[in-house]
Amino acid sequence: MAVKERMDYIKKQLHSQSYKLTPQREATVEVLLENEEDHLSAEDVYLLVKDKAPEIGLATVYRTLELLNELEIVDKINFGDGVSRYDLRKEGANHSHHHLVCIQCGDVSEIEEDLLGEVEVKVEREWQFKIKDHRLTFHGVCSKCQRDKDSTNEEVGRQTVDQL
Amino acid sequence: MAVKERMDYIKKQLHSQSYKLTPQREATVEVLLENEEDHLSAEDVYLLVKDKAPEIGLATVYRTLELLNELEIVDKINFGDGVSRYDLRKEGANHSHHHLVCIQCGDVSEIEEDLLGEVEVKVEREWQFKIKDHRLTFHGVCSKCQRDKDSTNEEVGRQTVDQL
DNA sequence: TATGAAAACGATAATGATTATCGTTTAGTA
DNA sequence: TACTAAACGATAATCATTATCGTTTTCATA
Ligand SMILES: [Mn+2]
Ligand SMILES: [Mn+2]
Ligand SMILES: [Zn+2]
Ligand SMILES: [Zn+2]
């Protein structure tokens, strides 16, 4: 779906709760839509949105992100560095997607497919817990870093192809 | 396993990296062992540990928790309120356990069983990502709050069961 | 046992992300 | 046009965490 159409949908979501899509909010959403792969902090968003709306204040960015989070348009996530990051939900998704965090290069990538279907059935049944959402993050070594490590090893000399 | 024995094991882990188990560190670990179900913030730990070692400083608590985290004795977790929480790993566990967070009463409970075995096989294969650890948290309504809501509904009278 | 270096510590200042405050602007309505 | 509430921008306040620094403890060695 085009950015324009998703913006319209978000506009409807705001209006349905009698919030306005002000120019500042629109510019902020635009930044999120145009950087969907990234995981921007409030400060990141602020710097990017200043190009579109130079007069915007940091407080407004925080307020807007908080609002979008309440409306479940974005998820507020935390990867353990000291800042919150704001992650647009995938089109049509009604819950947070999964993440892969590389402990070597720091790269964060996404898994859009929901892998928790069966697990959630089990949790609801065996723990009597009604699940509304989830957060799943894997920490490990991304494919790129695995390859880099292999090359390094080859340069050094003979070696086993893989160790677990 | 008794607190004493787990303390000894942690002592060995520290020594194996040539760290000392100072009285302050021992008191801090004791607090963690005696409150294993809880998810204490640094400040929480500080207040509890003061009973055992009244002269301890907050900075030392932070340093100790950081050290225990590096040694993978505790996991530093974040539930979205503004503080980090320190969660002792279960005996013999080599990764973080799962959590259930109730969006109504705020209660946090634990799932000790690892539910991600098959999911991780799939992720490693299909995303070429070497998993070292994971974080899985479910947000929803705990069994207690489900019961409470049922009672409330009955008192109020007839009504639609759910309006998402 | 005395000594010297490194590791830890306690107190507290500094940092930095987030939130609160407050006066001003904007949008919608009578 | 005038009124009211929602939003905004600037900036002060808050508060968790980290950095600094002088002191204490540990421990290997003379
Ligand atoms: Mn994401
Ligand atoms: Mn836990
Ligand atoms: Zn990587
Ligand atoms: Zn509950």
Residue that terminates a domain, selected from A72, A91, A110: A91
Strands A130-141 and A98-102: parallel
First-to-last alpha carbon distance for chain A, in angstroms, is 41
pLDDT in tens, A38-69: 999 999 999 999 999 999 999 999 999 999 99
B142: domain CATH number is: 3.30.1490.190
pLDDT in tens, B38-76: 999 999 999 999 999 999 999 999 999 999 999 999 999
Indicate whether B39 and B6 sit together in one domain: yes
Q: Is this prediction's pTM over 0.85?
A: yes
Nearest DNA or RNA nucleotide to A18 (CA to C1'): D6
Confidence class of residue B155 from pLDDT cuts 50, 70 and 90?
low
The structure tokens listed for B155 are 């008192």
Name the nearest CA neighbour of B46 among B35, B36, B56, B37: B56
Confidence class of residue B161 from pLDDT cuts 50, 70 and 90?
very low
For the CA of A88, the nearest ligand: 1
Q: CA-to-C1' distance for A59 and D10, Å?
A: 9
A14: domain CATH number is: 1.10.10.10
| Partners of A96 in beta bridges | none
pLDDT in tens, B116-140: 999 999 999 999 999 999 999 999 9
Structural domain of residue A135, as residue ranges?
A: 93-153
Closest Cα of chain A to B150: distance in Å?
Answer: 13
Nearest DNA or RNA nucleotide to B76 (CA to C1'): D17
Identify the three-state secondary structure at position B29: helix
pLDDT in tens, B5-20: 999 999 999 999 999 9
Indicate whether A9 and A85 sit together in one domain: yes
Maximum Cα interatomic distance, chain B, rounded to a whole number of Å: 66
Number of neighbouring beta carbons within 10 Å of residue A30:
16
Q: Is residue A22 part of a domain?
A: yes
Domain count, chain A: 2
Per-residue pLDDT at A49: 98
Indicate whether B110 and B148 sit together in one domain: yes
**Which of A76, A132, A136 is facing B140, going by the closest CB pair?**
A132
Q: Is residue B163 part of a domain?
A: no
Identify the three-state secondary structure at position B80: coil
Q: How far apart are CA B100 and CA A149, in angstroms?
A: 37
